[in-house]
Structure 1
Amino acid sequence: MFFILSITVVIFLIIEVFGNFYKIDKYVYRSGKLNSYNLQFYHKIYNFKTIINLHGKSSKSWYKDEKNISKQNDITHIDFKLKNSIIYDTNTTKQLVQLMKDAKKPMLIHCLGGADRTSLASALYIYAIKNSSKQEANKQFAWYYGHLPMIRKKVIAMDRSFDLFVDEAKKDKNED
């Protein structure tokens, strides 16, 4: 119990203080929703050209701040709403992959906490756009990003969505 509590506290600090911000490669970054200070701070360093918000539109202040900061800094802001408890078909994941391919780089991908939906998008980016292995892409579903399907059972849907995408991609390659 102490171990789980300790991990929870660490993850909370990573998400709330640092925004769960990580570099995927020199063009793509992942995070949870960032407060206005963190968003401006990371933008100054990494000069995002696109933000993909997987949480979707919101009436909350963080969303308004994000939209304003995007507008002030000529950042393309895209809302692509996903829910972390839904297993998505390949049409949805293919749309997300195409969106990431077409987006101006550098790009920031985020959801609310940066743990589940962002892990799915990051894994899709690694696998489908960078053409890395499934094993390499699966590293995006790590506990240190806050992805904990053993504790939060419903979020396994993100892993399953990725598996469906990979299975379909393999079928498509075999048909060629």
Structure 2
Amino acid sequence: MVKLRSKKNRKPHVAPDLSTPQGRARARRELVWGDHGFLRKMFSNLHQISPEMWRANQPSPKKVVEYAETLGIRTILNLRGTSTKGYYLLEKEACEKAGITLVDFQVFSRDTPTKEALFAAKELFDTIEYPALMHCKSGADRAGLMSVLYKLLREQVPYEEAIEQLSLKYLHVKHGKTGMLDAFFQTYADYNAGRDPADWKPFLDWVEEDYDRLQVKEDFLREFGKGVQVDKILRRE
């Protein structure tokens, strides 16, 4: 019988050494095969969401250079967090060579955002150098979350316009655990139901005074358990 190794017993990933041919080749394999970069070769899920901001999926080093040269990108927001794996190390190296500031700002697609992260997003959008591009792995869920926040906090557009950033157009699927993001924003909309859009409570005021992160998560998971488990069907992590 084959004994499977649990995640707790797995050895920590050792970063490939980009200064050696072997390490660089390994990093490339981790990007192309381990991180499914081959699927992104012909499709970047690239969209301009304002004159100063773009969204996309995980860029290859070639794409980083392309974004710098053709779009004038000065800042890339990496919404996946830091990593010892090749996809991150190669992106970081490419940004340094292209003169792009790489900002690591980790958010999650299957959890309700914390108040701290929401206020930090506002500060982030107010302080980075533009033009900028934000990305996660697929450019669908975490990029969608941050794009809605960008629209609400930076551009201060109406909710109905901002929430369009979290839609199937960008490959976001709400009928799985990523629907927790939709539930979060819907809770804000429900709080303001019946009010004229001009009279909606400011988003961060609602976050500070009324948002109960754990309750929103609990309510979503309760309803999610009653439906079709799309994540299992699609074999999503």
TM-score, normalised with respect to structure 2: 0.61
Instruction: Answer yes or no: is 1:132 the counterpart of 2:165.
Output: no
Identify if the C-alpha distance between structure 1 residues 36 and 170 changes in structure 2 by more than 3 Å, giving closer, same or farther: closer
Displacement of 1:82 in angstroms is: 1.4
Instruction: Verify the 8 A CA contact 1:116 1:141 in the aligned structure 2.
Output: yes
Measured at CA, do residues 162 and 102 of structure 1 come closer, stay the same or move farther in structure 2, by a change above 3 Å?
A: farther
Structure-2 residue corresponding to 1:147: 172
Deviations 1:47-91, CA, capped at 9 Å, x for gaps: 111111011112222211111111112211111111211101332
Pairwise CA distance, 1:108? 0.7
Match of 2:25 in 1: none
Aligned residues: 161
Residue in structure 1 matched with residue 61 of structure 2 by the alignment: 36
> For residue 57 of structure 1, what is the amino acid of its counterpart?
T
Distance in 2 (alpha carbons) for counterparts of 1:55 and 1:165: 25
**Which of 119, 122, 129 is matched with 1:97 structurally?**
122
Aligned: 1:113 with 2:138: yes
Aligned AA for 1:169?
Answer: P
Q: Structure 2 matches for 1:9-24, cutoff 5 A?
A: 15-24=40-49
DSSP-derived class of the 1:18 partner = coil
SS in 1 for 2:64: helix
Provide the secondary structure at the position in 1 that maps to 2:55. strand
Compare 83-92 and 105-114 and name the one that shifted more.
83-92
Match of 1:159 in 2: 182
- Alpha-carbon distance, 1:161 to partner: 3.7
- Tell me, yes or no, if the aligned pair for 1:18 and 1:38 is still in contact at 8 Å: no
Decide whether the 8 Å contact of 2:64 with 2:98 is kept in 1.
no
**What is the TM-score when the length of structure 1 is the normalising length?**
0.81
Q: Calculate the aligned-residue CA RMSD, in Å.
A: 2.5
Instruction: Report which of the two structures shows the higher radius of gyration computed on alpha carbons.
Output: 2
Structure 1 residues 99, 170: CA separation in 2 closer, same or farther (over 3 Å shift)?
A: closer
Find 2:50's aligned residue among 4, 25, 45: 25
For residue 113 of structure 1, give the secondary structure of its aligned residue in structure 2. Answer: coil
1:6 maps to none
Q: Which amino acid is 2:151 matched to?
A: I
Are the equivalent residues in 2 in contact too, given 1:90–1:164 (CA < 8 A)?
no
Letter paired with 2:202: A
- TM-aligned CA distance change 1:84 to 1:170, over 3 Å: closer
Give me the whole-angstrom Cα distance separating, in 1, the residues matched to 2:65 and 2:187.
Answer: 36
